[in-house]
Chains A and B, each alone.
Chain A
Amino acid sequence: MLKKLYTLFAIGVVSLYSMAAMFGWEITGGSRRQLPPDARQNGYRSFHFWHYGLHGGK
């Protein structure tokens, strides 16, 4: 039983690692977000947007 479980787990780990290597995934990557559509239309370079809009203040 443990043999099957470990085999399945190990296959999962190896597969995940292989896929990460193939698709360029990183475990250590930071957060990823989506700019609101209006921000893209109105410009996203303002100090106010980055400090009170997207990040919610720093």
Chain B
Amino acid sequence: MSVLVANCPSCGAPVEFKSGQSIVVICSYCRSAVARTDRELKDLGKVAELVETGSPLDVGLRGKWKDVPFELTGRAQLGHEMGGQWDEWYATFSNGWLGWLAEAQGRFYITFQYPIPEGVQLPSFEQLQLGQQVPGLPWPTPLMVAETGRATALGAKGEIPYLLTPGATYYYADLSGADSAFGTLDYNETPPLVFLGQQVTLADLGITTTRAPEREERRVGAAQLSCPHCGGPLELRAPDKTERVTCPNCNSLLDVNQGQLQFLKALEKPSFQPVIPIGTSGDVPEGKMTVIGAMSRSVTIEGTQYFWSEYLLYNPQIGFRWLVQSDEQWNYVRAVPPGEVTESGKSAKYQHQYYRMFQDAQCNVECVLGEFYWKVEAGEKVRGVDYIRPPYMLSKEVSTVYVTDDGGKQRRTTGEINWSLGTYVPVPQIEKAFSVSGLPRPSNVAPNQPYKYGWIYKYWIIFLLITLLAGFFTFIVSGSTKEVFSQTVNFAPLPNEDGTQVFFSEPFQLEGRRNIEVVGESPVQNTWVYLEGDLINDETGVVQSFPIDISYYQGVEDGEAWSEGGQTDSAYTSSMPAGRYVLRLEGQWEKWQQPAVVTVKIEQNVPHGFNLLAALIGLSIVPAIMVFYHISFERRRWSESMFGGGDDSDDDD
């Protein structure tokens, strides 16, 4: 590392280039950007004072990335054309690496410059499309364009590894990919410079800074200001992040720039009243958050305008989140990296889960109240696409803006894709979290409302399996089938058509706790034999009656053979107390003038599926009813979608 010490060409104060890779150093006395060239130091002009963003980082801070120590040697503050700014920190590594550490919305991204692989031609800025994959980049996972924009160099501190000119603008594209991959295409040069890396935490960078607690303390504190239009008191709850705020006294829309308020325009009387007042704090799944802004939005589908409300939540440690109220249904929403989501046809994939497209429409901002971290105003339009997987909703918002260069001669399109993940929250939970009462109850099914009886299918399967196991177990332990009686009975012809013949068997032994099957068999052909049977306990007098109905018919009709019935019939009875029994059979048959022959067999411990079938049917009654309710529930859900759809049973309670 070669150290160059010289005097600032503007004020003469000493400036020091500690890193050999530094091109510009900011004079700490006069804030001039001093560039070193081959021959001399050059004054590029004064940079603006850095906007206090409450960053936990600072020039001189040391850390470690992939076991290589680094030091933050410079900082540049860049402005976004939509308002707001972000910081870029330059990390000089002990092994000569030079890293870029970007900080925006409380998130950190470390990137390194990569050479463009040979033969790869990157698209020009004009060719870039939001959402497109950029081929040929030296990164293991695909990277897609998540944002295009124009940055303006606002301020700087320390040493900068490129020729930073105060006020200069350049175009860039931010890339996003799976596994927190992040990249930037810097169109300040042609071909663009490629920076690739990933989203990180301060812990990943081995940075432990004592500034963080100070920062949080400062950021938590709200700023008390006066409205420049009406002079009324106005509180900024996120003063270092807010870009727009509406005055609660005169309803003016105010621009926020470094804590200074500027009147933009007077808004009409708000068309909606937030059901959760601005300033209300509540306990959401991630911690305590405060409602700092609210907006009414709308979408027009088939000529009908539908409205919903969004509440911006803020906590310095957590960042921004949203509560969305639509048709009296609520969602808790957080942003997800665009590169983590893959769209394919009418589905999207996020964290290995597929979501189904539900809505695709242009969304409009109707009314804004409170603070926002971007320059929002009524009339703002974005394309919104919702995908659902109850209880989640994955939403994409694509916004585009037009910027002009060279005195309006050149017009370019920039924009960004924002993905968010909403989680369905029942109304009582919102009431409890934000200590509000009387919120209206929904009468319809929300797009991502979970079907709360989905558990019954799992329970049903579990109990079916248990029943089958129980059947198998009892079959194993109860032993084999045992024949206890068998005899062929010859009945004499009946005295008349209505007469009967009776047979009593010799006594035989039955075991207790064993079911009984009586099988009758007769060589009947196109006729029937009916037996009224009784098992009589010779000792106790208990009688178990059963019928045996044997009928068999066959023939040929229109050249086709047919048959009906069979030459055997059986009857099952429950077990009887163990003891000595007599079988009584009283027979009747169609051809009464002829004798009848019937072979009767009695077996015990016979496998019989009827009980099992009855148990399975019993277990299935409630789930079967719930299937109809589920279908109705899903129909109501999808009736609100422009894509229709069928039932969806992937929910959990």
Which positions in A face B, CB cutoff 8 Å? Answer: 2-3, 6-7, 9-10, 13-14, 16-18, 20-37, 39-40, 44-45, 47, 50, 54, 58
A45 to B304: give the CA distance in the assembly, Å: 86
Check B50 for interface membership: any CB of A closer than 8 A.
no
A-B contact pairs, 14 of them (CB 8 A): A2-B453, A2-B456, A3-B456, A13-B618, A17-B470, A17-B612, A22-B478, A23-B513, A27-B611, A29-B546, A29-B574, A32-B573, A35-B543, A45-B504
Q: Are B544 and A30 in contact (CB under 8 A)?
A: yes
Interface residues of B in 594-642 (CB under 8 A from A): 604-605, 608, 610-612, 614-615, 618-619, 622
| Besides the known contacts A7-B459, A22-B478, A26-B515, 15 further A-B residue pairs in the complex with CB atoms under 8 A apart | A2-B456, A17-B612, A21-B475, A22-B513, A24-B514, A25-B515, A25-B575, A26-B572, A26-B608, A34-B541, A35-B536, A35-B543, A44-B536, A54-B543, A58-B532
Looking across the interface, which residue of chain B has its beta carbon closest to that of A13?
B618
Interface residues of B in 544-588 (CB under 8 A from A): 544-547, 571-575, 584, 586
Interface contact tally, CB-CB below 8 A: 117
Q: Are A21 and B470 in contact (CB under 8 A)?
A: yes
A23 to chain B, nearest CB (A): 5
Collect the chain A residues with CB atoms within 8 Å of residue B608's CB: 26
Check B471 for interface membership: any CB of A closer than 8 A.
yes
Check B467 for interface membership: any CB of A closer than 8 A.
yes
Looking across the interface, which residue of chain B has its beta carbon closest to that of A6?
B622
Interface residues of B in 444-474 (CB under 8 A from A): 453, 455-456, 459, 463, 466-467, 470-471, 474
Collect the chain B residues with CB atoms within 8 Å of residue A40's CB: 541
Query: Provided the pairs A6-B456, A27-B614 are in contact, do residues A22 and B463 lie with their beta carbons within 8 angstroms?
Result: no
Check B502 for interface membership: any CB of A closer than 8 A.
yes
Collect the chain A residues with CB atoms within 8 Å of residue B515's CB: 24-26
Looking across the interface, which residue of chain A has its beta carbon closest to that of B539?
A40
Main secondary structure, interface of B, reads mixed
Q: Are A3 and B575 in contact (CB under 8 A)?
A: no
B212 to chain A, nearest CB (A): 45
Q: Are A37 and B541 in contact (CB under 8 A)?
A: yes
Query: Provided the pairs A25-B574, A50-B502 are in contact, do residues A30 and B615 lie with their beta carbons within 8 angstroms?
Result: no
Q: Are A24 and B605 in contact (CB under 8 A)?
A: yes
Check B13 for interface membership: any CB of A closer than 8 A.
no
Q: Are B502 and A13 in contact (CB under 8 A)?
A: no
Collect the chain A residues with CB atoms within 8 Å of residue B618's CB: 13
Interface string of B635-653 (1 = CB under 8 A from A): 0000000000000000001
